[in-house]
Structure 1
Amino acid sequence: MTESASTYVHESHGSVHGGEGPQYNFYVAAKAAATSRLRDQAARRRRTISEADRVHLYQRFVDPPRFTRARELLRETRTVLLDGLPGSGRRASALMLLHELPASRGSLHELPDTPDDSAASVLDEQDVNAGDRLLLDLSEAEESRYVEIQRDLFELRDRLSQLDAHVAVVLPHHLGYLLRDDLRHLTTEIGRPPAKRVLARHLRCEDLRPTSVELESQELGTYLSRAPLRKVAALADSIRQHRDASSAAGDFGQWLAAALADEHNQSARVAADIAAEASGRRRALLLALAMFHDSPPGTVLHATNSLLKVLSHPDDGTPRLDRTDLYAEFTAVGAEVGADGRVRFTLPGYANAVREHFWTYMPDIRLQLRDWFHACMATPDLEPDIRKAAIPRFAAQGLRCRRPEDLRWMVERWARPGTSAWYIPDAAQLLALGLADEQHGRYFRQQIYDWSTSTDAIQRLGQVLVPVCSEAMAPTHPDQALVRLHHLARRGEGRVSADAQAAVVALAHSDNRLYQLMLSRLSTGMERRLGDRDSELFLALADPIRLIRSQRVRTLLAQAWRVTLRRPDERWAECVSRWLSAGVAYAEYQPHVLEVLATACASDCRTAGRLFRVARAWRRAPVGTGAARVDTLDRLLRAIDTQQGLSPYERTA
């Protein structure tokens, strides 16, 4: 029988209402709203390396120039370093190179890009197993880290050869001058594949087959010549959406025109309009509408007045009825109120161009713009869909202008004590957007690690960090998500700790490699006496069947059991009973199950005696497997004797 990756389930338990109903339910509802937002956001981004997403990418992938050379390097040397201009598809190319390799052993996963719990390099040899296919994305690495990792990468190559493992590294193009000479022969600089071919491939996967003539428009050619490949893929998806939304019969030209209209760059027009507008109030109205696009007039008015206040703009002393109304003001800035009662600019792309103009050409007020957005989001009657739409607009400007600290500041304000739980979805969404950013994702992964290792920070941010780690970070960086969730389970209180523990167990059980990683962390942490939380987590995680034939797994399990069995019997008796029952239900695994338990207590006679007492109580349980239980108890005693170096015949009956 082959090794099973399944999980043995003896009992399942649901959550228990143990406190004040309204407060608890409010937290649960806010957490559910946060989870919903994060899943919706993740569904629109494909940066995971799961097999399903790799297949999705493979079907749409167009080999870039010099891709064949990269493929040969990887197969011959087990290492390839990919360079290229940003937007040329370096990460996708690295992923496809690994995807093409045989998958008979090991796993395809991304190496962590933060050291976590250690001053050691992210290139830990323990992260490499036989047959692994490893992705290391250094595209946004800083100088010191890039130099350090190159040294470790050179040393790691011997380990790759021993284990028949492969690694594809995405290099930081802006640090090309720092590349070591002894790694240059492993480097390939890929080119940008023809954008029109990329678009056509994506369209075919959506059952859209335009003719070559339909793809020859000048507007499309201009767009494709400038757009990074991710925008080309987004254009194809936009064309599909317009086709699916079309109620009447249409043609490709109409769908393409509509998709390109969504991408119109209105920056020149916006710059001219703002330069021509002398009124500070009118300019404030422009930005307020751009940030809260598709909102009711009252929302836009409140945001306008709030911006004027934050910027200390002089009050308009004109009597209210002598001033123009909102309808006239909207018309003056090229906006209209739709049949749904919401305000929007009439030109596609205009709102985004307004936001970019203010953040780009008024850098001296970026802090005030941050404070203004915070004040607007504090409005009690701001509808959830408006909040959800506004957050990515703010995040985009902060990230584009290299101000990730503005997002961090906002998250901390929304999660501080005394703030309404309904800010949890907002904070989670904003933090997840930072994580998803190619340029600043590592900054936020490191920030979340710092928060998760600080008890004070967890008290403020724990209820945000748990869903962000489990829903936003885990699909793309599962190792790092597991580490952070583990710290939250250790240091959190109440629902935060319970939710983090459940998330750790779910994530570790989703993948054999992560399961072993978590067992290793627990066995190490428990040996260092890091508290009861690790023992509780171990009892929830440890599976008597999963990978039990692996000597390494049995060693890790025995180490963790050794510490756990020193705690009061009532904490672990139920789990031991579950393990013994698994040995009865799966007889082929019983010797390994009993070996783990016997090894765990072999060095302590008192612990062995306590374990045996629990096992005897299990044997007497009124279930229809009496003979099998008696036999299992006898086998357990023999296993303990063997581990203690005693001959079975020295026992008294």
Structure 2
Amino acid sequence: MTGTTGPQHNGNGDIYVTMGTNQQATGRPSFTPFADDQLAWLRRVLVAPPGMGRARSELADTGTVILDGAPGSGRTCAARVLLREHHKDTGVFRELLPEEDGELPLADPEMVGSGDRLLLDLSAADPARWAASRADLSALRKAVHDQHAHLVVVMPHGGTLESDLQRYRVEILQPSRERVLRRHLRTHGVPAEQYLRPDPTVTEFLYEERPLREVADFADLVRRAREAGVPGEEFTQWCAAARKAQADRREEVATLVATLRDSSQRALLISVAMLHGAHADVIHHVAQLLLRTVGSPPDDLPLLQRKDLAERLVEISAGAGQDGHVRFRDLDYDSAVRTHFWDHMPDLRQHLGTWTARSVALSSPYVTQELRDGLVAKLSGEYLRTGRAEELASLAEAWGSTATSGAGLEAAVQALTCGLGDPAHARTFRSRIYQWCVANKQLKGGFAQVLVRVCADAIAAGHPDQAMLRLYYLARREHTGALQALSGLVESSHRLRRRLLHRLARSVPSEADLGIFLRVGVADALTDPYDNGRALVEEKSVQSSVITCWHAVLDQLPRPTWQPYAERWLHTSVDAGDRGGLLLDILVGAAERCESRRGAAFAALYASARDAERTAPGGSSRAALTSDLLLQKISSAQGRSRPITPPEPASPRGTEQ
């Protein structure tokens, strides 16, 4: 299931999942809808652990459940599935990270939006962090209740929990590993008659105690072995290939590399490992490119005396299939080769970064975006595997700053996205991106575009507050696309728009802030009711922030700059009923604060209203009534009153539109 509806899970049954590579998005859509698809996929293939039914009931009854469970029991996946089951048209799924830049404290009621599905994963929290979070849980729960939201907390296994919170605690136990494996195999399309038969490899694998993620990984290896296998192979061969792929192959690869003394053969081995499955033409070209990158001398043999590619591929245990694409004979052998060269040739690492940037820029019908992304992901995986998150971030910055093509910028986006998707290093990348966004130094080349993409897509998927803050700083510096991305993000959430308006008004807005306000503080968004029937313009705190911003607009910007936005504001007030009056009150309140320029501000607003009559979508006559109401409010603010006389249809203010 990938949509928002589907079979409901109302009792005992199957729940546990991991993402297979065939489920990854192959295009480049926004990450926000993909995050929801991922939750749907989780719900589809999870095997229900003991305790899931009680957790489901507690969440439905109270809006909160606290999951406990041993590592490897599937507790975090269960948490995500529980929240996915409460998917609605309102609210979003997001993970709370209260200690990071751009996140509100847990006790802040603005943390929760209407209908939100919130995950607070503290499974790895130390005692101090867990204690601090528990202190704020009551306030967070109240906000969740008030907003008709849902909250799942994953607590540290065996952690302390106060008596008033014990009722929400549910222990998750590991389900049958055999059932987990079978569910994954079934979901991956392996025929039931295959995996239901006893298999010695499976029996041996399942005998050992292991976290469920390893079971899911094994199932995915079986799937891949099936897809790569030759006709006639069956489940037993697929499982054997999967088990072999999990084995430690360091000595085997080291022995092979030791026999390859020629630099061209090692370059070919690395190229196949980094672009596994690429067309032979691509493998040939990138291998030559790697030789040039590391400064190896060219082969001085005459062309026709050199070994052909087929012979050279055999020497490295690889070959090209009938489709012309090159693969190693053994499953996941490419991963073992990458690990060997990365770990045992550290001087090669910097060259691999340069080579990757040059390779993604190659122009060939066989060099697809999927192939480019895969190359960057494999290189990023080696940085992340060995704890070099900062080095990968710096590499992405260099790529984005010096790229001369869209492919180079995409490579930088992909590298940062890989870092953000790695559980062990995601926080480092979010922090580094924040530093780039707020830094005073000029971002070079197209790197600002890279940051906009990463914030609007990858970060916004699960952490929209952090994405909003980072895009806000980029928009203040007027980087291309940042304001549009920021506007699009707050368009999806009244809560985010409220937060942004409060931030813009908390100090004297700069000219850049006012440009952001005019784009996001639009009247139609402020009068649009959300699910409780209220609109932002009816909230006193929002009125105060918007008045502050409009005052700065009237006081600091020339009228031609703000006139189009004021006209749109006035057009909205015509059809907004009582909320239209609030919109006019805001403009009048803003002009009142202009002190010595108050009269000029009032006059400019009224002149804008008269101008707006000519372009009013509903016609000039109705808009004229709004102009008269505005004039009445201005007169009242100045201590005078003026009776409203409805204009005649042929009023010189304009004709009916």
TM-score range normalised by the length of the shorter chain: 0.7 to 0.9
Amino acid of the residue matched to residue 196 of structure 1? E
Q: Deviations over 1:471-504 (max 9, x none)?
A: 22222222211211111111144xx2xx111111
Paired residues, number = 594
Task: Give the match for residue 160 of structure 1.
Answer: 141
- State how 1:334-373 maps to structure 2 within 5 Å: 334-359=317-342, 362=344, 365-366=345-346, 368-373=348-353
CA contact (8 A) 1:82 1:188 kept: yes
RMSD: 4.5
SS of 1:265's equivalent in the other structure is helix
Amino acid of the residue matched to residue 549 of structure 2? A
Instruction: Name which of 122, 132, 136 aligns with 1:151.
Output: 132
Instruction: Name which of 135, 160, 175 aligns with 2:119.
Output: 135
Task: Give the match for residue 218 of structure 1.
Answer: 200
Q: Deviations over 1:377-409 (max 9, x none)?
A: 325646543433311111222222222123212
Task: Give the match for residue 430 of structure 1.
Answer: 415
Q: Distance in 2 between matches of 1:469 and 1:39?
A: 18
SS of 2:444's equivalent in the other structure is helix
CA contact (8 A) 2:522 2:569 kept: no
Task: Give the match for residue 440 of structure 1.
Answer: 425
Please say which of residues 374-383 and 228-237 is displaced more in the overlay. 228-237
Q: Deviations over 1:589-613 (max 9, x none)?
A: 4223323323332333332332122
Q: Distance in 2 between matches of 1:126 and 1:352?
A: 45
Task: Give the match for residue 33 of structure 1.
Answer: none
CA contact (8 A) 1:138 1:171 kept: yes
Q: CA 1:324/1:479 → structure 2, altered by over 3 Å: closer, same or farther? A: same
Shift of 1:448: 0.8
Please say which of residues 278-287 and 205-214 is displaced more in the overlay. 205-214
Instruction: Name which of 609, 629, 641 aligns with 1:615.
Output: 609
SS of 1:348's equivalent in the other structure is coil
Q: Unmatched 5+ residue regions in structure 1?
A: 1-37
Shift of 1:414: 0.8
Task: Give the match for residue 592 of structure 1.
Answer: 582
Q: CA 1:489/1:601 → structure 2, altered by over 3 Å: closer, same or farther? A: same
Task: Give the match for residue 517 of structure 1.
Answer: 499
Identity across matched positions, percent: 30
CA contact (8 A) 1:87 1:230 kept: yes
CA contact (8 A) 1:432 1:468 kept: yes
Instruction: Name which of 313, 325, 330 aligns with 1:330.
Output: 313
Q: Deviations over 1:413-463 (max 9, x none)?
A: 212247555310111111111111122112111111111111425334202
Task: Give the match for residue 622 of structure 2.
Answer: 628
- State how 1:34-53 maps to structure 2 within 5 Å: 40=26, 50=36, 53=38
Q: Deviations over 1:269-323 (max 9, x none)?
A: 5522423634443555433321232345676567667777888999999999887
Please say which of residues 534-543 and 502-511 is displaced more in the overlay. 534-543
Q: Deviations over 1:140-176 (max 9, x none)?
A: 66x5xx7246314413423523662653233466xx7
Task: Give the match for residue 19 of structure 2.
Answer: none
Task: Give the match for residue 450 of structure 2.
Answer: 464
SS of 2:443's equivalent in the other structure is helix
CA contact (8 A) 2:117 2:150 kept: yes
Is 1:602 matched with 2:582?
Answer: no
Task: Give the match for residue 393 of structure 1.
Answer: 378
CA contact (8 A) 2:102 2:465 kept: no
CA contact (8 A) 1:599 1:640 kept: no
Shift of 1:350: 1.4
SS of 1:65's equivalent in the other structure is coil
SS of 1:134's equivalent in the other structure is strand
Q: Distance in 1 between matches of 2:176 and 2:227?
A: 27
Amino acid of the residue matched to residue 450 of structure 1? Q
Task: Give the match for residue 411 of structure 1.
Answer: 396
CA contact (8 A) 2:253 2:336 kept: no
Task: Give the match for residue 289 of structure 1.
Answer: 272
* TM-score (normalised: structure 2): 0.75
Is 1:198 matched with 2:180?
Answer: yes
Q: CA 1:326/1:100 → structure 2, altered by over 3 Å: closer, same or farther? A: closer
Shift of 1:368: 2.9
Shift of 1:109: 3.3
Task: Give the match for residue 564 of structure 2.
Answer: 574
Q: Distance in 1 between matches of 2:62 and 2:456?
A: 36
Shift of 1:585: 3.7
Instruction: Name which of 36, 50, 55 aligns with 1:65.
Output: 50
Please say which of residues 310-319 and 287-296 is displaced more in the overlay. 310-319
Q: CA 1:152/1:113 → structure 2, altered by over 3 Å: closer, same or farther? A: closer
Task: Give the match for residue 564 of structure 1.
Answer: 553
Please say which of residues 515-524 and 239-248 is displaced more in the overlay. 239-248
Q: Distance in 2 between matches of 1:459 and 1:311?
A: 26
CA contact (8 A) 1:105 1:130 kept: yes
Q: Which has the higher contact order (CA 8 A, sep 6+)?
A: 1
Q: CA 1:192/1:399 → structure 2, altered by over 3 Å: closer, same or farther? A: farther
Task: Give the match for residue 649 of structure 2.
Answer: none
* TM-score (normalised: structure 1): 0.76
Q: CA 1:466/1:414 → structure 2, altered by over 3 Å: closer, same or farther? A: same
Amino acid of the residue matched to residue 565 of structure 2? C
CA contact (8 A) 2:119 2:153 kept: yes
Q: CA 1:53/1:121 → structure 2, altered by over 3 Å: closer, same or farther? A: same
Q: CA 1:272/1:502 → structure 2, altered by over 3 Å: closer, same or farther? A: same
CA contact (8 A) 1:523 1:556 kept: yes
Is 1:549 matched with 2:535?
Answer: yes
Amino acid of the residue matched to residue 294 of structure 1? G
CA contact (8 A) 2:456 2:467 kept: yes
CA contact (8 A) 2:514 2:553 kept: no
Is 1:486 matched with 2:472?
Answer: yes
Amino acid of the residue matched to residue 337 of structure 1? A
Q: Distance in 2 between matches of 1:97 and 1:543?
A: 37
Q: Distance in 2 between matches of 1:565 and 1:260?
A: 73
Q: CA 1:111/1:266 → structure 2, altered by over 3 Å: closer, same or farther? A: closer
Shift of 1:505: 1.0
Q: Distance in 1 between matches of 2:109 and 2:454?
A: 28
Amino acid of the residue matched to residue 254 of structure 2? I
CA contact (8 A) 2:47 2:180 kept: yes
CA contact (8 A) 2:51 2:170 kept: yes
Q: Distance in 1 between matches of 2:43 and 2:242?
A: 27
Task: Give the match for residue 539 of structure 1.
Answer: 519
Shift of 1:247: 13
SS of 1:426's equivalent in the other structure is helix
Task: Give the match for residue 19 of structure 1.
Answer: none
Q: Distance in 1 between matches of 2:426 and 2:100?
A: 15
Q: Distance in 2 between matches of 1:410 and 1:459?
A: 14
- State how 1:81-92 maps to structure 2 within 5 Å: 81-92=66-77
Q: Unmatched 5+ residue regions in structure 2?
A: 1-23, 647-657
Q: CA 1:260/1:583 → structure 2, altered by over 3 Å: closer, same or farther? A: farther
Please say which of residues 257-266 and 274-283 is displaced more in the overlay. 257-266
Q: CA 1:438/1:569 → structure 2, altered by over 3 Å: closer, same or farther? A: same
Shift of 1:115: 2.9
Q: CA 1:48/1:480 → structure 2, altered by over 3 Å: closer, same or farther? A: farther
CA contact (8 A) 1:370 1:406 kept: no
Task: Give the match for residue 6 of structure 2.
Answer: none
